[in-house]
Structure 1
């Protein structure tokens, strides 16, 4: 198969879809890999490293899309890329269709085969291609939240871990999945007092067993959230419903319950966000203030640490990418239910229920196209 690795052009997206090591693995199976020049530069990988691994370097993004049967990316195509996508071209990347109706319509109109990292799902309902970036984003949420609690950043002026004789900050984590677990561990490690909420009592039992003493678990519900946000200095939104919009757990009117300078970090913003007042921001302009509450809502947080993120992502995506390249997308999806669940759009149709429901569009069963 012919594989294209374009340079990411979304604002401050520094990751790349495949490392040189990934290219070398593809070459072992006689696949042809084209990499756009400087695609890996921001992640610390030079064109020379890609060439040494067996890739051919192309000058432009247009060439890369034109020649490839499968495009491996990190983030969803942006508007300037829509017309570069060919009918029946396989795109393997994060899409988050439920947060972008224009993207959904564009991919349907282009006739692309869209296999989304975020909905590839194992039998135990875990999301193997979200895990590495969720781990990065969960840890970064605390790193960034701690920074924006500083007074020059319009925060409360609180040191996350406190000092002897002065209490540490209070951190509230909404959601006990991968992001929430990593955020709670990071905050606890820095010495904060942490509350983590989830709707699953089983999950809370597990978290209670593995977390240090400065982390307490509380059942997530409207009443408990309202009480907790009034005390919190840093709030991390870490709720995910695979392939669908995140629920609004904190509404606009609830901001008045928080103290001025409170920081909210919504890691779910690329799925619509679980805090009503959150809207996607960039690393260039990461924050804004509403009702004296600092909002950090960068949609591609792991893009700020691209070397770590790219290595972690390729580790997870490469086995699936090899299956797609070796067998073709139809056979690979027929033989692997995990990949089948990754199909969101194909043949101009929506084949993932959560996406169809998000925009009130027709849905067809994925088996009808395989």
Structure 2
């Protein structure tokens, strides 16, 4: 199979779809890899490393989209990239379609086959291709929160862990999944007072076992969220509903009642965000203020630590890339129900129920369109 790896064009996005190590695994199996020039220069993967791994280097993304049978990326295709996709071409990347009707329509119009990392499942009910970036984003959310709590960055001037004789910051984490657990790990390590919310009693029990008395776990209700968010110094939005738009758990009214200089980090922004006052931001301009509360809503948080993120992501995606290349997308999707969960768009049809529901589009079951 001919596989194309274009350079990411989203603002301050330095991750790459495949590392030289991953490329070598595919070329050893006889597949042809086309890589855009200087794709990994920002994180220490130069063209020579890709050439040594067996890749062909090309100067432009246009040739990659024109020739490749499968496109492997990190972030969702931007409008100019959607226009380059062609009928029957396979796209393997993060998509986050539920809050993005424009991208969804672009993929539908392209007649491509689009598999989303974030909805591929595993036999344990997890999301193996989302988990590595969720780990990174969860840990980064506390770093970002601590930074923007500083007075010079718009915050109220509070140190997460406090010092002797001074109370630590109050951190509220909405969601106890991979993002939430990793955020809690960082916040606890810095000495903050941490509360984790979730609607799944089993997950709350797991978080309790992980952290014991260092973390307070609470069942998620409107009343309890309101009470604790209003009193928080830092709120982390870590809610995920697979494939669907994130629920808005924090209302504008709650934000209005928070202390001036408090910080909110919405890790769920890729799925539309879980704060009513959230809107997407970039690493170039990461924050804005609503009612004296700092909002950090960067849609590609792990891109800030691009080398760590790229290697972690490739460790997870490589087996699926190999399966798609070796078997072809049709056989690979038919044989693997977990990979099939990742199929969001198939030749003009929306094949993920949550995406279809949120965007009010017709739904076609993946198994049905594939004949699986």
1:367 partnered with 2:367? yes
Aligned runs of 1:262-281 on 2, under 5 Å?
A: 262-281=262-281
The residue aligned with 2:233 is 233
Q: SS of the residue aligned with 2:168?
A: coil
The residue aligned with 1:257 is 257
Structure 2: distance between partners of 1:208 and 1:346? 41
Structure 1: distance between partners of 2:99 and 2:23? 31
Deviation at 1:212, TM superposition (A): 4.8
The 4+ residue runs of structure 1 with deviation greater than 6 A are: none
1:16 partnered with 2:16? yes
Aligned runs of 1:157-306 on 2, under 5 Å?
A: 157-306=157-306
Q: SS of the residue aligned with 2:115?
A: strand
The residue aligned with 2:135 is 135
In 1, are the aligned partners of 2:230 and 2:254 still within 8 Å (CA)?
Answer: no
Structure 1: distance between partners of 2:88 and 2:257? 50
Q: SS of the residue aligned with 2:248?
A: coil
In 2, are the aligned partners of 1:150 and 1:157 still within 8 Å (CA)?
Answer: yes
1:327 partnered with 2:327? yes
Structure 1: distance between partners of 2:42 and 2:251? 37
In 1, are the aligned partners of 2:280 and 2:298 still within 8 Å (CA)?
Answer: yes
Deviation at 1:76, TM superposition (A): 0.6
In 1, are the aligned partners of 2:196 and 2:218 still within 8 Å (CA)?
Answer: yes
In 2, are the aligned partners of 1:150 and 1:156 still within 8 Å (CA)?
Answer: yes
Q: SS of the residue aligned with 1:240?
A: coil
- TM-score for the superposition, normalised by structure 1: 0.99
Give CA-to-partner distance per residue, 1:79-104, whole Å, 9 cap, x none: 11122111110000000000200000
The residue aligned with 1:68 is 68
Runs of 5+ in structure 1 lacking a partner?
none
Runs of 5+ in structure 2 lacking a partner?
none
Deviation at 1:122, TM superposition (A): 1.4
The residue aligned with 1:47 is 47
Deviation at 1:368, TM superposition (A): 2.2
Structure 1: distance between partners of 2:275 and 2:344? 25
In 1, are the aligned partners of 2:88 and 2:112 still within 8 Å (CA)?
Answer: yes
The residue aligned with 2:343 is 343
1:317 partnered with 2:287? no
Give CA-to-partner distance per residue, 1:212-253, whole Å, 9 cap, x none: 532111111101001101211000000000100000000111
Deviation at 1:201, TM superposition (A): 1.0
In 2, are the aligned partners of 1:229 and 1:257 still within 8 Å (CA)?
Answer: no
In 2, are the aligned partners of 1:137 and 1:179 still within 8 Å (CA)?
Answer: yes
In 1, are the aligned partners of 2:174 and 2:237 still within 8 Å (CA)?
Answer: yes
Q: SS of the residue aligned with 1:213?
A: helix
In 2, are the aligned partners of 1:4 and 1:68 still within 8 Å (CA)?
Answer: yes
Structure 2: distance between partners of 1:205 and 1:243? 25
Deviation at 1:208, TM superposition (A): 0.6
Give CA-to-partner distance per residue, 1:277-328, whole Å, 9 cap, x none: 1011000000000000100000000000001000000000000010000001
The residue aligned with 1:118 is 118
Structure 2: distance between partners of 1:337 and 1:43? 34
Structure 2: distance between partners of 1:162 and 1:250? 26
In 2, are the aligned partners of 1:129 and 1:317 still within 8 Å (CA)?
Answer: yes
In 1, are the aligned partners of 2:231 and 2:258 still within 8 Å (CA)?
Answer: yes
In 1, are the aligned partners of 2:289 and 2:295 still within 8 Å (CA)?
Answer: yes
Structure 2: distance between partners of 1:213 and 1:331? 49
Q: SS of the residue aligned with 2:98?
A: helix
In 2, are the aligned partners of 1:16 and 1:43 still within 8 Å (CA)?
Answer: no
- TM-score for the superposition, normalised by structure 2: 0.98
Structure 2: distance between partners of 1:147 and 1:130? 25
How many residues of Structure 1 are paired with residues of Structure 2 in the alignment? 370
